Amino acid sequence: QKKGAPHDLKCITNNLKVWDCSWKAPSGRDTLYEVCIENRFNSCYRSEKTNTKIPALLPGDHEISINPIHNHSSISKFILNEENISLIPDTPEILNLTADFSTSALHIKWNDKGSAFPHHSNVTWQIEILRKKKMEIVTLMTHNTTLNGKDTLHHWSWTSDMPLECVTHYVRMRCYIDDLHFSGHKEWSDWSPVKNISWSPDYQPKVFPEDKVVLVGSDVTVCCVIQEKVILAQFGKEKCSLIHLDGENVAIKIYNISVSPTSGTNVVFTTDTNLVGTVIFAGYPPDIPQKLNCETRDLKEIICTWNPGRPTGLLGPHNTSYTLFESFSGKNVTFKRAEDPADISYQLFFQMIPNWEIYNFTLNARNPLGQSESTILVNITKRAVYPHTPTSFKVKDTNSTAVSLSWYLQGNFAKMHLLCQVEITKSNSVQELRNVTVKGVEDSSYFVVVGKLSPYTNYTFRIRCSTETFWKWSSWTIEKQHLTTEAIPS
């Protein structure tokens, strides 16, 4: 180029549709430039400034002339090729930054302005989180999306390790478009304007998080919003080093937290005149309920029992809640803890549904750290009846070699046969077991005659029952001594 002629032509594009070209030239008043693309269309563009926008040109070399009109310096010619063009996306804009203080989560929303792009392109977004007035970088994360020719809103969340109440958090983002069709240089956009989130303190000293439940082994940051200088921070018995935030606010970091005592682990911040704190509950999610078993004593009510497995370390409001779902009926029952924690028996009662034999139970265990479940499919009449202990057991004479036994059995056995076992002990020596089958009835007494006994002999009787499709014997009745009558002399 001759001296004073336009030089250093540089073109960039934000959207692959328009090239934004600029050049250097001696500053002269009322200079008007005419930029012409030497091609079939010979399109020219006029500009009063040393830059102009031209439609994106196809790949390959294109001759460009820049002619400073009304100016004595002469025309300049350049060869423009897409390969020398830089794709610098428009600066993104964070449309919305919100915080969920209870979960320390930041939520960001932005528009990718995909409609500005001619075709699908992969986009990488970099989101940077900064903290404190000094805007220290906390983290830089990437998020990949695809431009699809339409403006698309994107949402993204990040959970802070530091409670959001204690320090101002700043967020900014930029993007990089990797368009496979574009052969020029690809660069990051500028950073978006910063958005920030802070909590409006009410000037009462406060510690965050408040009463949080965390998983054993996790790292926890606890912080204190306060106006006075904190001189001591304790985690239980342990003294902790202070992380200074803005103003007098401070934080401590607890690594690999161990399981808390019942009332939680105290985190205490002490000043010259005050003491504030919070409690952290470190525990485990509920174990899979072990040995889930469902049976019935009376074919009216099903009793499901289980073993909770590994203790969670969490009690009170954070205790594990259990719910028993029955999928065929859609019914469920919830476990209520006994007042006296010493006598916890893990069992739930489910009312049987008339004429219903097969039950598909799912026992769900849930606490603030997670949930687990066990399932059991039960044919309640086949392998699940564990009768109550028979009561009102009586022995009466029938004749010198036979007695009649009677007992009462609570339960609705009308649709089945009962298998009962009589234990006969003769004069405290010979013991004999006899099985008898009786037709089941509902909440009723039962009778059997036991023969082939010896006259005028001391016997001890007791009985237990099960169902014909055996699952469990009931407990034995109490024993009954009985002296058979004397034989009638023949």
Partner 1 sequence: MSRREGSLEDPQADSSTSLLPHLEAKIRQTHNLARLLTKYAEQLFQEYVQHQGDPFGLPGFSPPRLPVAGLSAPAPSHAGLPAAERLRLDAAALEALPPLLDIVRRHQAELNPRAPRLLRRLEDAARQARALGSAVEAVLAAFGVPASGPRPEPSPAAAAAASTGVFPAKVLGFRVCGLYREWVSRTEGDLGQLVPGGPA
Binding residues for partner 1 (CB under 8 A)? 207, 210-211, 234, 236-237, 260-268, 273-279, 315-317, 319, 340-342
CB of 415 to partner 1, least distance (A): 43
Nearer to partner 1, 211 or 301 (CB): 211
| CB nearer to partner 1: pick between 48 and 343 | 343
Nearer to partner 1, 342 or 488 (CB): 342
Non-local (6+) Cβ contacts of 339 within 8 A are none
d(CA 36, CA 68): 11
In sequence order, the β-bridge partners of residue 88 are none
Least Cβ distance, residue 345 to partner 1 (angstroms): 15
Least CB distance to partner 1 at residue 275 (A) = 5
Which residue, 6 or 209, has its beta carbon nearer to partner 1? 209
Do residues 472 and 295 touch, judged by C-beta distance below 8 A? Answer: yes
Rounded to a whole number of angstroms, the minimum distance from the CB of residue 220 to partner 1 is 15
Toward partner 1, which CB reaches closer, 266 or 399? 266
CB of 352 to partner 1, least distance (A): 32
Q: CB-wise, 55 or 261, nearer to partner 1?
A: 261
Q: Which is nearer to partner 1, 42 or 345 (CB)?
A: 345
Least Å from the CB of residue 274 to partner 1:
6
Partners of 379 in beta bridges: 358
Kindly state the smallest distance separating residue 346's Cβ from partner 1, in Å: 15
d(CA 452, CA 234): 82
Q: What are phi and psi of 84, to 5 degrees?
A: -95, 0
- Give min distance, CB of 335 to partner 1, in A: 15
Residues 6+ apart with CB under 8 A from 94: 108, 109, 110, 171, 172, 173, 192, 193, 195
| Amino acid letter for position 1 | Q
CB of 178 to partner 1, least distance (A): 49
- How near is the Cβ of 311 to partner 1 at its closest, in Å? 11
Shortest approach of partner 1 to residue 206 CB, angstroms? 9
Give min distance, CB of 285 to partner 1, in A.
20
**Chain mean position to CA 291:** 25
Closer to partner 1 by Cβ: residue 5 or 276: 276
Q: How far is the CB of 443 from partner 1 (least distance, A)?
A: 38
| Nearer CB in complex with partner 1: 237/452 | 237
Peptide bond into 209 cis (omega under 30): yes
3-state secondary structure the chain: CCCCCCEEEEEEECCCCEEEEEEECCCCCCCEEEEEEECCCCCEEEECCCEEEEECCCCCEEEEEEEEECCCCCCEEEEEEHHHCEECCCCCCEEEEEEECCCCEEEEEEECCHHHCCCCEEEEEEEEEEECCCCEEEEEEEEEEEECCCCCEEEEEEECCCCHHHCCEEEEEEEEEECCCCCCEECCCCCCCCEEECCCCCCCCEEECCCCEEECCCCEEEEEECCCCCCEEEECCEECCCEECCCCCEEEEECCCCCCCCCCEEEEEECCCCEEEEEEEEECCCCCCEEEEEEECCCCEEEEEEECCCCCCCCHHHCCEEEEEECCCCEEEECCCCCCHHHCCCEEEEECCCCCCEEEEEEEEEECCEEEEEEEEEECCCCCECCCCCEEEEEEEEECCEEEEEEEEEEECCCCEEEEEEEEEECCCEEEEEEEEEECCEEEEEEEEECCCCCCCEEEEEEEEEECCCCCCCCCCCCEEEECCCCCCC
In terms of CB distance, is 114 or 236 closer to partner 1? 236
Residue 262 or residue 435: which is nearer to partner 1 going by CB? 262
207 versus 450: smaller Cβ distance to partner 1: 207
- Closer residue to partner 1 (CB): 29 or 237: 237
